[in-house]
Structure 1
Amino acid sequence: MGDARDDPNLFLVDPDMRGILPLDDFHIPKRLRRRVKQEPYRVSADTAFTRVMEMCAESSDGRETTWINSTILNLYSALHREGYAHSIECWDETGALVGGLYGVALGGAFFGESMFSRATDASKIALVHLVARLIEGGFTLLDAQFHNPHLEQFGLIEIPRADFKRRLKAALEVKADFYCGRSGPSGSFTGSGAVHRITQMS
């Protein structure tokens, strides 16, 4: 990651305690569950990867700086072109991109990198759709990297570095599919379908 948006340097982060979202115990709060089923936004995957990254890098309420610099943007865009980095997007009725997230898939592990929201619950809905997709695609590990109070409502847990590396080693041996058997990014879950897929697992 980078220290700031205008800093071209990168450094590796390997915390003593790692935040993960257990895919077999992911929790959707009741209010959000109803909201997801109402489908307030159109949800897509991998249709606006670079734009999602750019919006994650923009300043917003409570966050004036970002670790996403131009070097990271270029590197992750290259990973996206190679099929390793992916995004989930939420669009409102006017066609505006109002929420989303991105991360990297390796084997059965997905490394969540950043998310943004410009409308009520948009990033949360993107996360629910991501988890449904990961479960359907056979993933076994969703790395959130750090403890984040915002993610506690979804069942975030912290595990020691050694435990994380054991789980990661096993996950990297898994043959998972972000597109869930489809030939490309077309097709997404309905809101009800996403909730159902997750509750089947948990």
Structure 2
Amino acid sequence: MAHLGGADGPVPPHDRHVIVVGMGQVGMRLCVELQRLGIPVAGVERNPQATSAILARSLGIPVMNGDGGDRRVLEQLRLRQARALAAVGSDDLDNIAVAIAAHGVAPQTRVVIRAGEHEAIAETRSLLPLGAVRDVTSLAAAYVVARLLRERVTGVVAHRDDVYVQAPKGTFDKRVVSGGERCRHPPRLVSSGM
């Protein structure tokens, strides 16, 4: 069964908190950043021996041992009182399962999903009102390309389907980030060495 806080660790927040499911590198770093911003946070991790979960606990972040897709775990973490839930595990399908469970427990709570190009993402979008979808890879690519070109940028934002980089003077410039299917360069052939 799930365990959280009390004599063995930090006590979980009761309301206006963010629940982070998946305490790998992404989850742990997200918790640390939210905590730095003064936002109460609670983590969930299936593997009680996960290195990042142990580190998070040592930093004062309450981490529950359990399955983030389990309704009882979400209710124990007071999902209805939370400001958001972030499903950021390394498996897209697990993150989708967490989002569906969260929607079943508290449909009004904002859910953020870490997901890639898995075909189940498109199906999930048709089943749940997911709201805004942001391609974090495109955001990161726009920033990295600008920095490689020695441009002075202070940030990057998405608006609808477009990506913009922010200049130090506060202006935003639209960037086109091509996906592999839209890339104008011919595919590079890789020899198998045979």
Structure 1 length-normalised TM? 0.27
Structure having greater relative contact order (Cα 8 Å, sep ≥ 6): 1
Structure 2 length-normalised TM? 0.28
